[in-house]
A and B are shown apart, each in its own frame.
Chain A
């Protein structure tokens, strides 16, 4: 399909009048197309007005069914705003989305459990105890961050304990004078959590004080002395 052809599909796409193959091709195209994206949005607004002429009250049983169902339905995590650190590129956002789709949530819990059990000696004692204390809290939320590069990050955060366990694995060396930095993003914007870990042995194992009402986590690579405003690209992110 040529580029001209694909621009012509905006109206048919907005009407859901394309086949699966065309739908996939157009969706891969239009989010980053300055012509098609506003066009699709405009057609959708138009169609919602057209649809309103057929509005009809549904049977009361529908509301009962919907409200019962949502009580048992988990909501998705929000996507990190595109410009939280103003540096994530389109390519990275697409990759992050791919990671979101393939993330295996069940592995997170098993992984962390195995880790805590498996590390009981030497220098890691203090960490293991502190981590176990956080993980044992009833309000602890575990997030696997979506990443764009090598390695993985998981954050287990207990708001009631004001503590978060940060676990990174398979991480590349951040480079001379550089370190991994964790950011907590809330309504006021991103705040550095002073993780600043060089990931020796490709690993990060830290328990950090985290105050406030985090809504997102993000990880960048920064100068190891620390910065107040992120300068690196977001390489991992996820909902808190």
Chain B
């Protein structure tokens, strides 16, 4: 069966590349997908700071962030049997899931207009906030460098969308720029970051 062969080969390649950490998460998720709760507990330990961090960025309120992160982990558990490693790493999958949950929370909570107005006032703080985090985190050096390679306008658009939880239309409104321009900034920014970080496509 080509699919299984492909999976087997892919696993072999991953081992050969000494990609031990990544492989470990894949193995844990596979075990969790068969109902192994202790594997899921290990997976939790490896992923919780990442997921809680990204949810906190978007949701802000610690108590709500805890709730949203818990929902994300439960979703991860439910979906574990369906994880397909050909579609991306465990971390990317989990971060996508948690971010989506965080976005759903902030968007359901208030109308986009309210939030846009409030965020417009605290926008400078938010940008500094991200910059500080980047500097503070030594492991984030590579990411910081990649962020520096973006134009200020690209970086702002990507951060307002990803960490601010705004749609590109809301970002356009916040920055008083045409929607098409924001779409392009987001796209160009993401492509440059991806290439700077050497993410294979």
Contacts and interface: CB of A to CB of B under 8 A. Distances in A.
B25 to A, nearest CB: 11
Nearest to B187: A11
Nearest to A18: B167
Interface in A60-108: 61-63, 65-67, 69-71, 73-79, 81-84, 86
A10 B201 CA distance: 13
A16 B57 contact: no
A81 B130 CA distance: 41
B162 A50 contact: yes
B78 A46 contact: no
B175 interface: no
Interface in B43-77: 44-45, 48-50, 52-54, 56-57, 62, 66, 69-70, 73-74, 77
Interface string A188-230: 0110000000000000000000000000000000000000000
Contact of A70 (B37, B45, B92, B191): B37
Given A12-B161, A16-B100, A42 B199 contact: yes
Contacts of A83: 1-3
Nearest to B159: A50
> Which range contains the number of B residues in contact with the other chain?
35 or more
A45 B89 contact: yes
B171 A17 contact: yes
Interface residues of A, number: 57
Given A12-B187, A75-B80, A48 B1 contact: no
Contacts, number: 199
A79 B80 CA distance: 11
Given A58-B49, A75-B77, A19 B169 contact: yes
A50 B190 CA distance: 11
Contact of B82 (A58, A61, A78): A78
B193 to A, nearest CB: 5
22 contacts: A12-B187, A39-B201, A41-B92, A45-B89, A46-B193, A47-B92, A47-B95, A48-B91, A48-B94, A49-B199, A51-B99, A52-B140, A53-B139, A53-B143, A58-B48, A58-B66, A58-B69, A62-B48, A63-B44, A74-B78, A75-B35, A75-B78
Interface of B: 1-4, 33, 35, 37, 40-41, 44-45, 48-50, 52-54, 56-57, 62, 66, 69-70, 73-74, 77-82, 87-89, 91-96, 99-100, 103, 130, 133-134, 137, 139-140, 142-144, 147, 158, 161-163, 165-169, 171, 183-184, 186-187, 189-191, 193-194, 197, 199-201
